[in-house]
């Protein structure tokens, strides 16, 4: 409700300032403007949804921007992460995801399409296994550790695509099958995922995600904008273009 009031208030002010004042306009009271705005929004309710979304995104970004800048090097260059698109791309999307997240799986083709459309784009994947629950098999964490092992062997992106292409729920067998599918040894994986190098890398990824206040997957960082949820190709494309524009502006 507070967000909605902020949006409506901003629209009222915009309408009052948008037209030059005349003697006739001086009789136009704020209540008249509010009525005009109200009628316009009733006819075009999708504007409210879009405005609220943009406002929430801006507030979320502003809240975590210092944290984003503090971890910028880690976000873009961490060794255990892997990427698709241009490995030397000037524009980056960083996705925090969970292999068990249905939205992440459905949204993966969107990221592939964005990589194809934008030759200067690098999409970096950060393990964020937050969907495990007490007293259940920790398949989110298991799959994240397996991906980090695959990444250490130069097969991270291949394993990622294999997992995202697997139908049905994530299972321990599916993880092992996909490790074999990309040409890696499951017994070597079993040893590697217990090492400090791999487990500490995963713990770091979880720590940074929490510092960024990500409470859901997928969550994205595009330049210096932050998004949570499957926001769609069009919204991410606009963010890419905005990041590109900031880089080229003096």
Q: What is the DSSP string of 1-13?
A: -HHHHHHHHHHHH
Q: Do 34 and 139 belong together in one domain?
A: no
Q: Last residue of some domain: 40, 63, 86?
A: 63
Q: Do 125 and 230 belong together in one domain?
A: yes
| Model confidence pLDDT, tens digit, residues 67-121 | 999 999 999 999 999 999 999 999 999 999 999 999 999 999 999 999 999 999 9
Query: How far from each other are the two terminal CA atoms of the chain, in whole angstroms?
Result: 39
pLDDT at 38: 67
Q: Which domain holds residue 125?
A: 70-248
Distance between CA atoms of 124 and 110, rounded to whole angstroms? 14
| Model confidence pLDDT, tens digit, residues 131-188 | 999 999 999 999 999 999 999 999 999 999 999 999 999 999 999 999 999 999 999 9
**Overall number of domains in the chain:** 2
Q: Do 130 and 218 belong together in one domain?
A: yes
Burial class (CB in 10 A: 0-12, 13-18, 19+), 167: exposed
Q: Do 87 and 41 belong together in one domain?
A: no
pLDDT at 152: 97
pLDDT at 247: 83
Q: Do 83 and 116 belong together in one domain?
A: yes
Does residue 6 surpass a pLDDT of 60? no
Q: Do 161 and 222 belong together in one domain?
A: yes
Q: Domain holding 136: CATH number?
A: 3.40.30.10
pLDDT at 90: 95
Distance between CA atoms of 238 and 233, rounded to whole angstroms? 9
Burial class (CB in 10 A: 0-12, 13-18, 19+), 233: middle
Q: Do 127 and 46 belong together in one domain?
A: no
| Model confidence pLDDT, tens digit, residues 33-64 | 667 766 766 666 665 655 555 656 566 666 68
Joined together, the tokens standing for residue 144 give 């994240």
Q: Do 74 and 102 belong together in one domain?
A: yes
Distance between CA atoms of 51 and 7, rounded to whole angstroms? 7
Q: Last residue of some domain: 63, 92, 116?
A: 63
- 10 or 64: whose pLDDT is higher? 64
Strands 219-222 and 225-228: antiparallel
Q: Do 156 and 89 belong together in one domain?
A: yes
Q: Do 32 and 78 belong together in one domain?
A: no
Other beta carbons within 10 angstroms of residue 91's beta carbon come to: 23
Q: Do 51 and 159 belong together in one domain?
A: no
Considering the entire predicted model, what is its pTM?
0.79
């Amino acid at each position: 409700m507070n967000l909605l009031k902020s949006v409506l208030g901003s629209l009222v002010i915009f309408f009052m300032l948008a037209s030059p004042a005349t003697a006739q306009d001086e009789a136009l009271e704020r209540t008249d403007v509010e009525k005009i705005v109200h009628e316009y929004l009733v006819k075009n309710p999708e504007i409210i949804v879009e405005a609220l979304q943009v406002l929430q995104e801006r507030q979320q970004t502003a809240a975590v921007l210092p944290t984003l800048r503090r971890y910028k090097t880690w976000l873009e260059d961490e060794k255990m992460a892997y990427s698709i698109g241009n490995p030397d791309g000037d524009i980056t999307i960083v996705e925090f995801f969970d292999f068990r997240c249905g939205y992440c799986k459905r949204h993966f083709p969107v990221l592939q399409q964005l990589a194809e459309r934008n030759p200067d784009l690098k999409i970096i994947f950060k393990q964020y296994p937050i969907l495990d629950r007490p007293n259940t098999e920790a398949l989110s964490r298991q799959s994240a550790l397996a991906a980090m092992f695959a990444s250490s062997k130069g097969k991270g992106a291949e394993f990622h695509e294999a997992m995202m292409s697997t139908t049905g729920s994530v299972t321990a067998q599916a993880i092992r099958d996909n490790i074999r599918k990309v040409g890696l040894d499951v017994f070597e994986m079993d040893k590697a995922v217990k090492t400090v190098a791999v487990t500490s890398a995963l713990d770091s990824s979880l720590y940074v995600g929490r510092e960024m206040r990500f409470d859901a997957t997928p969550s994205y960082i595009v330049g210096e904008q932050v998004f949570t949820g499957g926001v769609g190709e069009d919204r991410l494309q606009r963010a890419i273009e905005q990041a590109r524009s900031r880089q080229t502006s003096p």
